[in-house]
Amino acid sequence: MKLLVCDDDISTIDVIQSQLDCRELGISTILRAYNGEMAEQIVDEEHPDLILCDIDMPIRNGIDVLKYVHEKAPGTEFSFLTCYEKFEYAQMAVNYGVTSYLTKPFDMDEVKVCIQRMIANTVKKKAAIDINPQSQYDSLMSSIFRQASDGMLGSTKELVAAGLRMNGVSFGADSIWRIIFTCADMTDAIRKTWSKDLLLFTSSRMHDEALLDYIGSAHTVVNSDDRFIWSLCFIEGDPDDSELRERSRTLIDFSDLHMSLRPAVLISEPFQFYQASTVVCDLYDRMRKVRYYGGKIFFMNRDVLPDISDGGRPSENQILWYLKKRDEAGYNEYINSLLDSMRCTVENLNVFRRELIHIFITHFRDNGLSSNSIFLDQKISSLDELACNSRSAMVDYAVALFRFQQEKVRDVVDSEDIIERAKKYILENFRENIDRNDVAAITFVTPNYLSKLFKNNMNMNLREYINQLRIEEAKRLLLSTEMSVSEIASYVGYYNISYFSTVFHKMVGVSPFSWRNQTEV
């Protein structure tokens, strides 16, 4: 479960985050917000299960956040943690079903009990939803098909049969099935602002509906990597090939029209259910040969599957090297050499386009730039539509992407002083294991140049500046929390307590233990 703690007093969030036993409570992530507007944005993007929120905050207060959550995410458990004991606030909390109303100064045991109560309420709500018969059936069947795919039911007929009986499934290990396996590139869908989670959910339901006329997602197992959605739809019996082809075509057209996904389809031969894990392994192996052929339908062991080798496909490492070196001439030569090595059909050019744009999207995200800006640019958008028409159109598109990226990088460097950008990044990340290479990457200069520039402007090197921030944070935590010295060392970025103590003593003049115990600072 995800817990969002929202308070304009950063130390309050620090105390909760450092003293709460997340593993014991089953909390996977603690999200932080410092005002109501930030909290609402996190609710939209991260969908927290639990919210602990202050009332008096800048921009938008806790009451505004409560109303927003009540409208946008009504199932979310919400509690107040505030200095205010006003009757009208407490009454509003009751009216909106707030779980707890804690007042500051708070006791961590109270906070723990509050969170336990919110978790219990969340579990009850989920259990109530799961009572729905269709939901129960979908959950059971989805689990069975996933276990069968992964080989967790066993590989022999006897083991699979025992597993099916244990789960009360109506069909047997020797029942006949077929799988329609699809793989879709998410690049264009993400470009059109689909979230990955929503794509996975919608795709699974769409497979069951288009291929089985079933409203739900019982028979489809969905997986994904950073680029592709892989979906296995189990179909009982041995339907006619023409029917499977027709239904697969419906799925492709609907996915393309409504989700900007154009999956490649691979249909298995009939098999007995206990053979599922072997069939799935074979399907994955063969799908890697056809996944770039979006919109095409192939039958296993009957169609000759095309095999896309690395020839004609842009290498991510090679492209990134040209971007880093700002070598447009070398990049252009590389793109032309790739296009020379392939047949420039519409189909092959479309594969090339998807590969290229995926590399640029990844690069933009890795460097803190908005990938949406690529597609909001009118020139890039126009060239994207024409790119697959001819070899020369693809070259124009590739060159435009390169120049657009270089322009954005220059804008970042020119619009913010390099030192200020470096300081901002360090301030946000000094608790992590960062070094000058990390900082240089976000300032778009070489590590050596950054070090020299930083030393000249700050009269200290990067490592000294990072240590300074860490030790100041450690001093505050030593006085304001009951965290152990080793816990504080780890929290501020030191994973060796001996090294932490050495740096602390060098900068403060006393050991961390002495700093905590002294009466005057």
165-168: list long-range contacts, CB under 8 Å, 24+ apart: 167/140, 167/143
**What is the chain's Cα-based Rg?**
28
- CA dist 402 and 414 (Å) reads 18
Q: For strand 101-103 and strand 50-53, is the pairing parallel, antiparallel, or unpaired?
A: unpaired
Give me the sheet containing 50-53, strands edge to edge.
29-33, 2-6, 50-53, 77-82, 101-103
Read out DSSP for 450-514? HHHHHHHHHSS-HHHHHHHHHHHHHHHHHHH----HHHHHHHTT-S-HHHHHHHHHHHHSS-HHH
pLDDT of residue 86: 62
- For residues 128-134, give the mean pLDDT: 61
Which amino acid appears at position 414 of this protein?
Answer: D
Bigger pLDDT: 460 vs 518: 460
Using one digit for the tens of pLDDT, what is the confidence trace for 31-70?
999 888 899 989 988 889 999 998 888 788 888 898 888 8
pLDDT of residue 368: 61
Q: Which pair of structure tokens corresponds to residue 262?
A: 């154009």
Bigger pLDDT: 338 vs 373: 338
Cβ(521)–Cβ(510) under 8 Å?
no
Using one digit for the tens of pLDDT, what is the confidence trace for 6-17?
988 887 888 888
Give phi and psi for 41, each to the nearest 5. Answer: -65, -40
Q: Which pair of structure tokens corresponds to residue 94?
A: 């009751």
- Looking at every residue in the chain, the average pLDDT score rounds to 84
**pLDDT band of 310, cuts 50, 70, 90:** very low
Cβ(455)–Cβ(487) under 8 Å?
no
Using one digit for the tens of pLDDT, what is the confidence trace for 77-118?
998 887 766 656 666 666 667 878 777 777 787 888 888 888
**pLDDT band of 210, cuts 50, 70, 90:** very high
Helix/strand/coil for 184: strand
pLDDT of residue 129 exceeding 60, the answer is no
DSSP 131: T
Question: Which helix (H) or strand (E) element contains residue 164?
Answer: helix 157-166
pLDDT of residue 90: 64
Q: For strand 271-272 and strand 176-185, is the pairing parallel, antiparallel, or unpaired?
A: antiparallel
Cβ(160)–Cβ(274) under 8 Å?
yes
Q: Which pair of structure tokens corresponds to residue 510?
A: 């006393």
- CA dist 195 and 193 (Å) reads 6
pLDDT of residue 395 exceeding 50, the answer is yes
pLDDT of residue 194 exceeding 90, the answer is no
What HEC string does 408-449 produce? HHHHHHHHCCHHHHHHHHHHHHCCCCCCHHHHHHHHCCCHHH
pLDDT of residue 24 exceeding 70, the answer is yes
pLDDT of residue 233 exceeding 60, the answer is yes
